[in-house]
Amino acid sequence: MASFNLPPELLAIITSLSNTETLKALRLTNHMLCAFATKNLFSTVSLYTEDQSCEGFESVITHPQLNEHVHKVRLNTVKVDYSSDEEHEELEVPFKWKELLPMLPKIPNLESVVLRFDKTITFDDDYQHPPQSVDYRESLIRWLGAGLVSLKQPLKELGIQNHQNMTPLNPDLQQVLCTLSSLRLNVVHETEPSCIQNEIEKEAFQDFYGRILPSIWLKPMMGSLRKLSLYSNFPWGFYPKFSLEGIHCPNLQSLTLGNFCFFEDQQVDWILSHSSTLEQLYLDDCLIFFRARILDNEGQLAMCPIPKSRMEFQPGYSWWDFWHYDYPSRWSDLFASFKTGLPHLRRFAIGHNRAWDADPEYEIPFEKELDLVPALMHDRYMAFEGGLVEGHLGPSQFISPGWNEAGDWPQCDDEDREALKTLYGKIKQQVDCGEFTVGDRKVVDLVETRPW
């Protein structure tokens, strides 16, 4: 056939764009297409908890010809996430994985591993029983670490989807972190629909952002990291405090932050400190805390990153004494800083990823950076209220315009839009400045139309 006269490079591209069923069919044609199809078909292999999946996975990674094509492994503890409103039986730990995960060193060219947990997590009470307990998650992390630490070549990429904040890391996996060039970490925290405000006051939440994330996750991989993606199902970065002090990645090329809070210029300066290498920056559902009120008690003040010397005391505000903080910078200021301070920036996006709305309940985007459509959503500015205050109708400390008087919020759509367009002009990135929707929200000329 004439198609077989195509250059091998072109055949490689064609097969790389083919779906699984097409690749299976191509393996049955002739030796040339079989070789290209086999390479692409087995470049990524997936493991589920069912016996059939375990058997198929083992047959591939122990096959002397097939295992050399494997570069990425996806470890899926679920096919579809459980609903948090349903009653679940606690899942049994997939003990077959205890045998399979330590066998990962049999894959000679393994570069990337993604571990997916269920998004429904353990609650600190005796009434709700999620499908995957902390022991379940810890066992899989331990087995995975045992396999990865023994790889012939250090792992390059690690992704953990729906990592519960209280799940400990074992020493083997901590050792693996030191050689990673790419980390994707989606963190989920306990949420009680009737008492959302309670979660950020819990010790596990505070310990994760105060110690575990900066010291155990980020600092060991600073020297090798080139790509970093951090998401949380809670706004993070402000309260409880999370410090970037002492963290610098000299080779960082791509940075993605999801649900991150900007509240002081030092955070922007941290991004700019990677000016010699940073080429891609994605800010997914990130926000600016333009105002914060912290209760005048030792507990909240200890978790607040702003010292009292930079706040104003407000006695007797709505039954409580508060410390008040204003952050004067706006998104237009941040865009201007990125424009002048990141000379190698080639791709930038800020907005609300449609993946957040893909699930009827809630789902954190994972491996979806390129799907982030640039848009300035109205909740890009929020306020933090440390206690229940007059006019605050929502069950959370994170206050959006919909929960309060819109007039209190920064009125700077035009300034933000023009600064964003200027940034895109500088990096020569084309964006949609027309009219489109993000979920059920309408965006016109890069700015979400306001519902009030």
Q: What is the per-residue pLDDT for 84? A: 53
Q: What is the distance between the alpha carbons of residues 233 and 369, in angstroms, rounded to a whole number?
A: 16
| The two structure tokens encoding residue 322 | 């508060």
Q: What is the per-residue pLDDT for 1? A: 46
Q: What is the pLDDT along the chain (452 residues), one digit of tens a residue?
A: 445 677 777 776 776 766 777 766 666 676 677 766 677 778 899 999 999 999 999 999 999 999 999 999 999 999 876 555 555 566 788 999 999 999 999 999 999 999 999 988 765 554 456 788 889 999 999 999 999 999 999 999 999 999 999 888 999 999 999 999 999 999 998 766 555 556 788 888 899 999 999 999 999 999 999 999 999 999 999 999 999 999 999 999 999 999 999 999 999 999 999 999 999 999 999 999 999 999 888 888 999 999 999 999 988 755 678 899 999 999 999 999 999 999 999 999 999 998 888 765 567 999 999 999 999 999 999 999 886 544 444 456 888 876 555 557 899 999 999 999 999 999 999 999 999 998 888 999 999 997 65
> Given the structure tokens 């069912």, which residue do they identify?
50
> Given the structure tokens 């979806």, which residue do they identify?
368
Q: Enter the pTM of the model.
A: 0.90
| The two structure tokens encoding residue 65 | 């010809």
Q: What is the distance between the alpha carbons of residues 162 and 159, in angstroms, rounded to a whole number?
A: 10
Q: What is the per-residue pLDDT for 393? A: 42
3-state secondary structure of 22: helix
The number of angstroms, rounded, from the C-alpha of 399 to the middle of its chain's C-alpha atoms is 22
- Under the phi-then-psi rule, with left for phi > 0, alpha for psi from -120 to 50, and beta for the rest, what region is 246? left
| The two structure tokens encoding residue 440 | 């059920």
Q: What is the distance between the alpha carbons of residues 366 and 378, in angstroms, rounded to a whole number?
A: 23
Q: What is the per-residue pLDDT for 105? A: 97
Q: What is the per-residue pLDDT for 130? A: 74
Distance linking the first and last C-alpha atoms of the chain? 64
> Given the structure tokens 């010292």, which residue do they identify?
307
